[in-house]
Structure 1
Amino acid sequence: MLAFVEAKLAYEIDVVAAAEAQADGTALIIDTRRRSSWDQGHVAGALHLPNDDFDDRIAGLPSGRTLVVYGWGPGCNGATHTAQRLLLKGFDVREMIGGYEYWVRNGFAVERADGVRKAAPDHLVTHV
């Protein structure tokens, strides 16, 4: 059981750590959701890599940075499927637990067609 927990901690990253890794340049955040979801809003600065475009866009991914993948939220496993494909190609990958839902709930920057915005953090998920 301990090995499972240690592996999970090595593979997953929470939204706070993902935001820090994006800010310091050590990670590239990747949105795995379909186009209609991306258009509703996505992590500011994220790269869009839906499953149906995976093979066409993988060549442009950086090999020297951690790729942090996310989906809608805890009930979505699209990021897990993309992570598996990226790991098989040799990339360093982490799955962002909580996905887009918890990114927004923590008050981090979200990009839409009309610009970048931050919502007020949800006091139920933040420590501020």
Structure 2
Amino acid sequence: MPSTVSLIPAAPSDVALAHFEAAFGFETDCWDVHHALTTDTQDFVLLDVRSHELYNQGHLPQAISLPHGKIIAAKMAQWPRETLFVVYCAGPHCNGAHRGAVRLARLGYPVKMMIGGVMGWIDEGFELAREEVMV
């Protein structure tokens, strides 16, 4: 009897390759964001889409606090349409980054989600920043 892992066969290699390569168009990870921040190669706007209160408790360096519900055309007009946004939330148990990505995509902005969120950042041993945003 096969395990639940192998009960459904793996996709053919060409299909798997297309799937996993496509994922990089939607996602980035903590290491890649950290590398960009620490090597002065940041070519994206980093958005913390959690509440201002959670942002104030600790956030990624250089992140802007913009709760996903506040991502609207008027607010985003300050950035050119070609601006790449990287969104993150608390972690895998949170869908705030997905919600923020949907809002940005609907407004026509390129967007990627940082998988792992704040929990992933901490798990990788990276430090959080503590500057507060005034609400």
Q: Does the 8 A contact of 1:21 with 1:27 survive in 2? A: no
If you compute each CA radius of gyration, which structure gives the higher value, 1 or 2?
A: 2
Picking from 3, 24, 28, the partner of 1:9 is 24
Alpha-carbon RMSD:
2.0
Alignment partner, residue 27 of structure 1 = 44
Cα distance 1:113–1:20, how it changes in 2: closer, same or farther (>3 A)? closer
How many residues in Structure 1 have an aligned counterpart in Structure 2? Answer: 114
Secondary structure of 1:110's aligned partner: coil
**2:35 is aligned with what amino acid?**
E
Q: Whole-Å Cα distance in 2 between the matches of residues 20 and 57 of structure 1?
A: 28
Alignment partner, residue 76 of structure 1 = 94
Which string of whole-angstrom CA distances, capped at 9 and with x for unpartnered residues, describes residues 3-26 of structure 1? Answer: 433322221101111122343121
**2:31 is aligned with what amino acid?**
V
Secondary structure of 2:94's aligned partner: coil
Which string of whole-angstrom CA distances, capped at 9 and with x for unpartnered residues, describes residues 84-107 of structure 1? Answer: 111122211110000011112223
Cα distance 1:46–1:113, how it changes in 2: closer, same or farther (>3 A)? closer
Which string of whole-angstrom CA distances, capped at 9 and with x for unpartnered residues, describes residues 54-100 of structure 1? Answer: 22522223434321100001111110111011112221111000001
**1:41 is aligned with what amino acid?**
G
Q: Whole-Å Cα distance in 1 between the matches of residues 69 and 42 of structure 2?
A: 27
Task: Work out the percentage of aligned pairs sharing the same amino acid.
Answer: 33
TM-score, L = length of structure 1: 0.77
TM-score, L = length of structure 2: 0.73
Q: Does the 8 A contact of 1:49 with 1:57 survive in 2? A: no
Unmatched 5+ stretches in structure 1: 115-128
